[in-house]
Structure 1
């Protein structure tokens, strides 16, 4: 292990290198390293044509994280699971400045382990009948490039094969480094894929560079997450401000629930779907993440999980999604996804952008926004029950609660979310557990195969008004109920 500066680290990156960046979404990215690479490129024009491979792309929806590398000529290729926090990379992919691929986040996480083991790739049914399937879009998100995913037939069933690729450099982050190069992650929110990424790069003969908070004489062997024999170079952050746990760490909103009425109505109703007992729950990004903040106020025995590898506690959201307040345990992202893929989630709460008459669900691409699949495909194709959370319409929707009357729609959203045909198939209902509940701010539906059934409606909202906003025929339950809009906790947040 050798101590170097950030500028020296940037000089180690060669043209056409395949980079494996660490972190998860808004958590744990080695920003000092990506900033140095950007600085070198802007000053010298090198390195050029880098290739990126990531599970959940780090960013803040603006300039941080992988957005630093979004310059024409600097990056020419990227495979990633979640792209939503890296809009500058997304823009490059959409205009063809880089060849972009979007694979399920759990597959990406496991690919690092497969590279480290010398395996040719991941063979799985995750992603079948989605936009990742080569019989659909093949996971290609740029106008250039061909699908790398293949369909393989094995023992009477079709599977998708995701190939491994050679990786040249890992840019990782830890907390402490001892004199032997051993890295701890005690102050990081999660371990992400750091160990597997380091092993993969070393097996390929590449370089592992780690950003840490401090150098110490020794660390407890049990606290080491990346052993020293895997670490080539270490860069030390000058201050805690250069090494934040999350991009939202300084924002009080990271733990304080939003007072957005639409979101709180949906999250409050979703709370009713939390089972009693020792259930395992996944909370996705967006509205579902609010459920953790509301649940924090209640006595529950369920275990909340986030794809980053965090178990228990109260999951945070916005630019702190991936972290939890007072977690019970932390594990590698790939290990948690293995549990997810095997059916370990009892109830998954997920956001959605569109649903169509065929039962196809889109959460990855809507309008000009390309978020990527993230963990949605892994989770939706494996969970025992799915609760989709989102508004009935979007872009400009305004609502109010009138005491003694119910819900008033002040202004309808310009964009309808229940459409004739989704823009992209992130998952199909027939490929899931077929136990799907959809919660909006004014109605609750059940989705079974290609049939949408209205089961609850908010007070002061008519069935006909719901039907007019859905582009295809729906069924109305014979035992339709009145929807509970806010619980006591949500009322306190809204009204004080």
Structure 2
């Protein structure tokens, strides 16, 4: 089945209030083309699951700046000051969770596992509840995280974490074929394979489009069974989140 379509067609079913998993870590491996097209489409009220929310003028940051995102599930705030401002002023609901837990929640969703027990977060507000999800304008906590189930296994306490499944997932791959088999470049694997698995409808932008059969089985990081649409994006702008340089001769 040829899954290659335009970005507009791939995102046509993504409506206001949708849940959305987005691959990438900082600005590494983000589906910039798909995010730009989603921004132009004017969709709002998005509930996003992503490692972080990009920067003010790139990645998910462009959706955030236009108030298109209502809720974020992430592992850290990153370099996005607008993200922090909206969260602290009560404009944005934010669920922060440990990075490994977020990764496993996405993977579990893709594997059909509804929940799992992990030691990460035991003895903290992650398990006990009380983390501010949304602040009120006066700075008080309007919505706090609920307590989670704790169970002991072999005398060690574990906290129950629910899997994540989203309406859509947007990912970026270095290479992909028309059947949706994907290959990611080095550290751009980060959250992309996990998000691809967690979406009910997964859209992958690929920099290099190849024909079925050109990818060896051992090359494939995400099989096409997880991908519904492929968008060819050969000329994607790539940015560095924070540049650190050394003067020549020093």
- TM-score normalised per structure 1: 0.44
Q: Measured at CA, do residues 144 and 7 of structure 1 come closer, stay the same or move farther in structure 2, by a change above 3 Å? A: farther
In 2: Cα distance, 1:116 partner to 1:140 partner: 25
After superposition, the Cα gap between the structure-2 partners of 1:98 and 1:32, relative to the gap in structure 1 and judged at 3 Å, is same
Task: Determine the structure 1 residue equivalent to 2:95.
Answer: 101
**Structure 1 residues not aligned, in runs of 5+:** 42-46, 260-492
Corresponding residue for residue 86 of structure 2: 92
Count the aligned residue pairs: 241
Alignment match, 1:194? 192
Question: Which of the residues 35, 41, 47 maps onto 1:51?
Answer: 47
CA distance 1:221–1:119, change in 2 (3 Å): closer
Q: CA separation of 1:243/1:225 partners in 2, compared to 1, >3 Å: closer, same or farther?
A: farther
For the 8 Å contact 2:22–2:30, the answer to whether it is kept is yes
Contact 2:53 2:78 in 1 (8 A): no
Aligned: 1:12 with 2:13: yes
Find out whether 1:24 has 2:25 as its counterpart.
Answer: yes
Change in Cα spacing, 1:26 to 1:171, as seen in structure 2 (3 Å) is: same
Secondary structure of the structure 1 residue equivalent to 2:193: helix
Cα separation, 1, equivalents of 2:142 and 2:8: 33
Q: What SS is found at the alignment partner of 1:190?
A: helix
The superposition leaves residues 341-371 of structure 1 with CA deviations (integer Å, 9 ceiling, x where unpaired) of xxxxxxxxxxxxxxxxxxxxxxxxxxxxxxx
- Relative to structure 1, is the Cα distance of residues 117 and 237 closer, same or farther in structure 2, using a 3 angstrom cutoff? closer
Q: How do residues 190-269 of structure 1 correspond to structure 2 at under 5 angstroms?
A: 190-201=188-199, 206-217=200-211, 218-239=214-235, 242-244=236-238, 247-248=239-240, 253-254=243-244, 256-257=245-246
> Does the C-alpha gap of structure 1 residues 229 and 151 become closer, same or farther in structure 2, counting only changes over 3 Å?
closer
Say which structure, 1 or 2, has more relative contact order (CA 8 Å, 6+ apart).
Answer: 2
Where in structure 2 are the equivalents of 1:75-474 lying within 5 Å?
75-135=69-129, 137-138=130-131, 140=133, 142=135, 143-155=141-153, 156-185=155-184, 187-201=185-199, 206-217=200-211, 218-239=214-235, 242-244=236-238, 247-248=239-240, 253-254=243-244, 256-257=245-246
Question: In the TM superposition, what is the alpha-carbon distance from 1:35 to its structure 2 partner?
Answer: 1.2
5+ residue gaps, structure 2: 136-140
Match in the other structure for 2:39:
38
Query: Is the Cα contact below 8 Å between 2:178 and 2:230 reproduced in 1?
Result: no
User: 2:72, 2:94 within 8 Å by CA — same for their partners in 1?
Assistant: yes
Contact 1:133 1:160 in 2 (8 A): yes
In structure 2, distance between residues paired with 1:76 and 1:190: 26
Cα distance, 1:62 vs structure 2: 2.5
The 1:149/1:71 distance shift into structure 2, 3 A limit, reads: farther
Q: Distance in 2 between matches of 1:138 and 1:120?
A: 23
1:415-450 Cα distance to aligned partner (Å, 9 max, x none): xxxxxxxxxxxxxxxxxxxxxxxxxxxxxxxxxxxx
| Conserved 8 A contact 2:52-2:77 | yes
- Residues 350-400 of structure 1 show CA distances to partners (whole Å, capped at 9, x for unaligned) of xxxxxxxxxxxxxxxxxxxxxxxxxxxxxxxxxxxxxxxxxxxxxxxxxxx
Contact in 1 for aligned 2:127/2:150 (Cα 8 Å): no
Aligned to 2:138: none
Distance 1:229 1:75, change over 3 A: same
How far is the alpha carbon of 1:175 from its aligned partner? 1.2
